[in-house]
Chain A
Amino acid sequence: MAIDAETVRKVAHLARIKTPDDRLEPLAGELNGIMAWIDQLNEVDVVGVEPMTSNVAQPLRLRDDVVTDGAKVEAVLSNAPKSADGFYVVPKVVE
């Protein structure tokens, strides 16, 4: 299954990574190389095999639905590119 420049453009957009037009062809070449290598997985018989999503045999723990942390506005905002009055400041997104 060959990946073309148009597919790369679509996938780069899904990944939200700006990709200049002159990078699309080289990237398609790289991805085709990697995916061709990955295609050997088609040799494996996986009929009836349950997908393995975790290494951990134990079920996920539950805890009481109570607040255990918080009131750390300053710490939370300490790495914000921009903030004011306890809020994140982001560029205008609604015209």
Chain B
Amino acid sequence: MSDLTRLTLKAAVDGLKAKAFSSEEITRAFVANIEAANPTLNAYVVTTPDKAIDMAKASDARIAAGTAGALEGAPLGIKDLFCTEGVQTTAGSNMLRGFVPPYESTVTSNLWRDGAVMLGKLNMDEFAMGSSNETSAFGPVVNPWKSKNSNADLTPGGSSGGSASAVAADLCLAATASDTGGSIRQPAAFTGTVGIKPTYGRASRFGMVAFASSLDQAGPITRTVEDAALMLQSMCSFDVKDSTSLDIPTPDWSASVGKSVKGLRIGVPREYVVDGMPAEIQALWDQGVAWLRDAGCEIVDISLPHTKYALPTYYIVAPAEASSNLARYDGMRFGHRAENTKSLTDLYETSRAEGFGKEVQRRLTIGAYVLSAGFYDAYYVRALKVRRRIAEDFDNVWDQVDAILTPSTPSAAFAIGDKQIDPVTMYLNDVFTVTANLAGLPGISVPAGIDSNGLPLGLQVIGKALDEATVLQVGAALEQAAGGVGKAERWW
């Protein structure tokens, strides 16, 4: 077997079951890759090689005994947002440096139940607030892809930048990620990987460090759509420990991958043509439309009139919810506590000023502002009303279309440091992804092309609530038509 670390998750699971190689073998190969690459790419904030080898040996024993699970022996990376029992979980923040959860998140519990192996915890924007991984207290993650014309380090996107970079650079077979405004799909697009956010309520939020609870949803970043279906199926479950968890069965999504898309109606929303969108993004989108038409889909021009209001709505709703969620970091029960403070208020304020980075402080300030007396109705309540308008836009088109095709991002990966000039420029990265969070809909980003600088670009498919099956089906058709975007050449 040549290079086990370059296999798809599906091929690895099949190879393990067929005993073509052992879990210990593939796990050791990943551990070696991580040791060599991580000083440069900074994808992992914690590595757990000993735990990984132990889990791999246990998997090998289960495979030998004929009791293998759906992901038996497959080495995965875990975004540092998921609580992992006995392994530091920080959400990329100094506030939680040294925090070791005494319990396991439901999503990761499901993966271990199915036999997966944990390689370590993956870097991310602090509390998932960012689109470039630059807000992490552990420093930015580097994208394995480089522009043809420059040697500058590029961002893998965010907030799941560590997850995307690790999957693209062969530092795990697949990774968990989370998506509040595009944090799975944008990094996937920037790294030539696949990322899917399921319908809100499919994956339990129990044990996920909270950012904006009405928007946060877990999902995988993988190398193929087939892998995404396989891993998402394991991650999702009904969970009594999450009050918004949906009490419905998780379908067999793998069965949707490879199914013909003939006859499906695909919506192309005219409002997703945004000012200043690069010609290459429009060309990729047109190409996606052509591929689906060739595959027998009916292309329907649709209107989602409130699209332009989605990002400003998000930048009220998400900071408001964060302001409430992150109130728990008060320096008392866990997290950072400042020394030598003069009063209780001083202790709270200094602990939070020391523990939170600049972007988190900025968003908590916005959140407190829009929730404060006198502004609550003008900002927060108005945003919730516009949010309903955005959700209704989607409701109004589902009788005409089965899924919607858009670009994943308004650009390819940019250089680290490039968009720090002003916050709004950075926020605009999520212009195509954030609507699905506000409306709670499933969305996938699939690598679909390479731009003139040699960087990967993604197309997004948005589906009806609970219709991940169609999203995966259309995603797989795009993936097949695109014929793969290849991988970053190893320079690290």
One of B228-236, B255-263, B376-384 contacting the partner: B376-384
B306 contacts which of A42, A44, A60 (Cβ < 8 Å)? A44
Q: 8 Å CB contacts to B: which residues of A46-66?
A: 46, 49-56, 58, 60-61, 63
A46–B385 Cα distance when bound, in Å, is 6
User: Which B residue's beta carbon lies closest to that of A91?
Assistant: B347
Cβ contact within 8 Å between A31 and B332:
no
A27 to B372, CA, bound (A): 17
Contact of B389 with A19 in the complex, beta carbons under 8 Å: no
Interface 0/1 of A55-95, CB less than 8 Å to B: 11010110100000000100110111110000010110100
A2 within 8 A of B: no
Q: Is B356 a contact of A80 with CB atoms below 8 Å?
A: no
CB distance from A35 to the nearest CB of B (A): 8
Known: A75-B102, A91-B347; 12 extra A-B contacts, CB below 8 A, are A16-B352, A31-B362, A31-B369, A38-B379, A40-B308, A49-B388, A49-B389, A50-B385, A50-B388, A51-B388, A56-B200, A79-B102
Whether A55 contacts B439 by the Cβ 8 Å rule is yes
Choose one: A8, A18, A42, A55; the contact of B201 (CB below 8 Å). A55
26 contacts between A and B (CB under 8 A): A13-B349, A14-B372, A15-B361, A15-B367, A30-B362, A30-B423, A31-B362, A34-B366, A38-B312, A41-B312, A41-B386, A49-B388, A50-B388, A52-B384, A55-B214, A55-B440, A56-B244, A56-B246, A63-B240, A78-B102, A79-B99, A80-B334, A81-B337, A91-B344, A93-B343, A93-B344
Pick from B214, B344, B361, B384: contact of A17, CB below 8 A: B361
Q: Which residue of A lies closest to B248 (CB)?
A: A58
Judge whether A5 is part of the interface by a CB distance below 8 angstroms.
no
Q: How many interface residues does B have (CB within 8 Å)?
A: 68
Would you call B48 an interface residue if the criterion is a C-beta within 8 Å of the partner chain's C-beta atoms?
A: no
- Whole-angstrom distance from the CB of B30 to the nearest CB of chain A? 29
* Nearest neighbor of B372 in chain A, beta-carbon distance: A14
> Which of B99, B214, B315 makes the CB contact (< 8 A) with A54?
B214
Listed in ascending order, the chain B residues whose CB lies under 8 Å from chain A are 98-103, 200-201, 214, 240, 243-244, 246-247, 306, 308-309, 312-313, 315-316, 323, 327, 330-337, 341, 343-350, 352-353, 356, 361-362, 364-369, 372, 379, 381-389, 391, 422-424, 439-440
Tell whether, in the assembled complex, residue A8 and residue B385 are in contact, meaning their CB atoms are under 8 Å apart. no
Q: B244 contacts A37, CB within 8 Å? A: no
- Chain B residues with Cβ below 8 Å from A50 are 385, 388
Grouping DSSP codes into helix (H, G, I), strand (E, B) and loop, the B interface class, with mixed when no group exceeds half, is helix
Contact assessment for A18 and B350 in the assembled complex, using a CB-CB cutoff below 8 Å: yes
A46 close to B247 (CB less than 8 A): no
- Asked if residues B356 and A31 are in contact (CB atoms below 8 Å), the reply is no
Q: A15 and B368 in contact (CB under 8 A), knowing A40-B309, A80-B334, A81-B331?
A: yes
Q: Please give, as numbers and ranges, the residues of chain B lying within 8 Å of A80 by CB-CB distance.
A: 333-334
Interface centre among B100, B103, B240, B332 (most CB of A within 10 A): B332
A52 is contacted by which of B98, B332, B367, B391 (Cβ under 8 Å)?
B391
- How far is it, in angstroms, between the C-alpha of A53 and the C-alpha of B244 when the chains are bound? 12
User: 8 Å CB contacts to B: which residues of A16-40?
Assistant: 16-19, 27, 30-31, 33-35, 37-38, 40
* Chain A interface residue count, Cβ-Cβ cutoff 8 angstroms: 50
Complex Cα distance, B363 from A34, in Å, reads: 10
**Is A49 a contact partner of B201 (Cβ separation < 8 A)?**
no
Q: Are A17 and B103 in contact (CB under 8 A)?
A: no
Contact A40 B312 (CB under 8 A): yes
Complex interface: chain B residues within 8 A of A30 (CB): 362, 422-423
Question: Given B100, B312, B341, B379, which contacts A91 in the complex, CB threshold below 8 Å?
Answer: B341
Alpha-carbon gap, A76 to B333, bound state (A): 9
Q: Which residue of A lies closest to B340 (CB)?
A: A91
- CB contact under 8 A between A3 and B369, given known A18-B353, A46-B382, A51-B381: yes
Contacts of B243 in A (CB 8 A): 60-61
Question: Is A46 in contact with B386, judged by CB distance below 8 angstroms?
Answer: yes
CB distance B306 to A8 under 8 Å?
no
Q: Which of B349, B350, B367, B383 contacts A41 (CB 8 A)?
A: B383
Q: State A40–B306 Cα separation when bound (angstroms).
A: 11
Q: CA–CA, A60 to B384, complex, Å?
A: 19
Point out the residue from A16, A42, A52, A79 that lies within 8 Å of B345, measured CB to CB: A16
Which residues of chain A have C-beta atoms less than 8 A from B327's C-beta? 16
Contacts of B344 in A (CB 8 A): 91, 93
Residues from chain B with a CB closer than 8 A to the CB of A93 are: 343-344
Contacts of A8 in B (CB 8 A): 365
CA distance A78 to B440 in the complex (A): 35
